[in-house]
Amino acid sequence: MIDVDGYRPNVGIVLLNADGRLFWARRVNRDGWQFPQGGMRSDETPLEAMYRELEEETGLSPCDVEVIGATRGWLRYKLPNRYIRHHQRPTCIGQKQVWFLLKLVGGEDALRLDASEKPEFDIWRWVDFWYPANHVVNFKRQVYERALRQFAPLVETLLSVQLGNLPQPDEAGPGPGRRGGREAA
């Protein structure tokens, strides 16, 4: 499903643990790391699509998470020209996304990257709040920054922390994390 402007409707998921760290996963057979995300079906609301993608990509069910918030309106990014399939109609030039901030309320042992027939991720870890905005592929950076900036006040209130005192994009490091849910990064 592509809209009239060439954007594919999509949802993104920022998953927060009790320590204020974010779920960060590596794409299967690639070097790229990202948040879970995926396209919406024509018969889905953004919330329905988010729960489907959450289960497909992380193995988590709605009872494992609490929805803390969602971005206001669509956040858009354009694909680099090399990723645009110019021969397909309609032509997709990018994604428009509604992002959801979720808090993990179940145990992290519920995370299963092999929950679907075709896993999208092979390793995951927990990272500092601003880390993803500086370490995602370039063409997604602005969307990640915008989503995280919208979510920062919610996280500050929820965890009674000041994210403004944490490293901002371009300064954040990965910190200790978990790979595949079992090994230290």
As a 3-state breakdown, the chain gives helix, strand, coil percent values, each rounded to 5, of 30, 30, 45
The pair of three-digit structure tokens given for residue 118, joined into one six-digit string: 């075709």
Rounded to whole angstroms, the Cα distance separating 84 from 72 reads 27
Q: What is the pLDDT of residue 183?
A: 33
- What's the pLDDT score for residue 87? 80
Q: What is the pLDDT of residue 16?
A: 97
Per-residue confidence (pLDDT) for residue 49, from 0 to 100: 98
Listed residue (149, 119, 114, 115) closest to 132, CA to CA: 149
Up-side HSE of residue 99: CA atoms within 13 Å toward CB?
21
* pLDDT, position 106: 85
The whole model's pTM is what?
0.86
> Residue 90: what pLDDT?
85
What's residue 167's pLDDT? 52
Return the pLDDT at 172: 45
| pLDDT of 56 | 97
pLDDT of residue 168: 58
Is 135 within 8 Å of 169 (Cβ atoms)? no
Residue 184's pLDDT is: 31
Local confidence pLDDT in tens for the 185 residues of the chain:
888 988 999 999 999 999 999 999 999 988 899 999 999 999 999 999 999 999 999 999 999 999 999 999 999 989 887 778 888 888 888 899 999 999 999 899 999 999 999 999 999 999 999 999 999 999 999 999 999 999 999 999 998 876 765 455 554 444 434 444 433 33
